[in-house]
């Protein structure tokens, strides 16, 4: 069920590149066309391609009377013509990522590459960028992940099984007061996970819940968080939490 393919062409080819300069090569080379239209032409020497075009605007091929491929991006053009073809094929492809577990749908391998996906059936799971994958599994069979949003929450990889939003909401909904009125801050999903005033839209106060764990109070009265980049206030525009304070 993978939607991406890599095209591979091998043979005796003439390779013509036109850009700021014009270069021409001939040899037995292998051409790789990636799903994002990046074209790489490799010979036997080293890892560097002899010619390439990154994320071409268009890639066109012609199989009639031999094989040719033309890739173009702005004023750059890469043309490949085969004199003798050794082979041409399409191959299923996916991102390469760290293996993290087994797919409960098909028993394929789950990898983490941005999101989490199965190499066999292609099922995908969104995952927070800061989340770490735990060794233990959920009762549903999927790996558990840990994400820090005030506390360290261990939840299922599948948000339909266990939701990070629900966990943060259960821990912190109405726990903090709005600094602009006497309303409570609710845990809401508005693009991102925020602590927003219950009196919206009368009061539009809202703060993105940061990655990190609670570390007391900021001098401004809002909660402070210990993050990977230091101590900070729930209000990203407040710099008082980073300063040493007297213990309350």
> 190 and 136, same structural domain?
no
Give SS3 for 26: strand
Contacts of 213 (CB under 8 A, 6+ apart): 148, 150, 151, 152, 225, 226
In a shared domain, residues 8 and 85: yes
**Structural domains counted in the chain:** 3
Residue 137 lies in a domain: yes
**For 32-79, how does the pLDDT look when each residue is reduced to its tens digit (9 = 90+)?**
999 999 999 999 999 999 999 999 999 998 877 678 999 999 999 999
On whether residue 241 sits in a domain, the answer given is no
The verdict on 33 and 11 lying in the same domain is yes
Query: In terms of residue numbers, what domain contains 16?
Result: 4-93
108-122, pLDDT tens digit by residue? 999 999 899 999 988
Mean pLDDT by 10 residues, the chain (248 residues): 78 94 95 95 95 96 82 96 91 91 93 92 91 93 95 96 96 96 94 94 95 95 94 94 57
Partnered with residue 30 across adjacent β-strands are 10, 42
């Amino acid at each position: 069920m993978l939607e991406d393919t890599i095209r591979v062409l091998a043979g005796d080819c003439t390779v013509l590149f036109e850009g700021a300069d014009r270069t021409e090569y001939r040899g037995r080379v292998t051409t790789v066309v990636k799903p994002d239209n990046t074209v790489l032409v490799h010979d036997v020497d080293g890892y560097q391609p002899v010619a390439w075009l990154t994320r071409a605007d268009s890639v066109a091929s012609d199989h009639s009377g031999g094989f040719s491929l033309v890739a173009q991006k702005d004023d750059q053009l890469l043309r490949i013509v085969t004199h003798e073809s050794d082979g041409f094929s399409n191959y299923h492809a996916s991102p390469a990522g760290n293996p993290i577990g087994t797919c409960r749908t098909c028993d394929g391998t789950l990898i983490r590459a941005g999101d989490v996906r199965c190499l066999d059936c292609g099922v995908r799971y969104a995952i927070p960028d800061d989340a770490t994958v735990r060794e233990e599994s959920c009762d549903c069979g999927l790996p558990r992940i840990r994400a820090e949003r005030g506390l360290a929450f261990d939840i299922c990889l599948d948000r339909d099984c266990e939701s990070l939003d629900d966990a943060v909401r259960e821990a912190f909904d109405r726990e903090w007061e709005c600094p602009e009125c006497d309303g409570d801050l609710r845990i809401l999903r508005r693009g991102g996970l925020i602590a927003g005033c219950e009196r919206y839209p009368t009061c539009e106060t809202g703060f993105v819940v940061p990655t990190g764990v609670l570390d007391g109070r900021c001098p401004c009265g809002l909660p402070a968080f210990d993050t990977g980049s230091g101590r900070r206030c729930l209000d990203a525009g407040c710099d008082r939490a980073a300063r040493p304070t007297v213990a309350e």
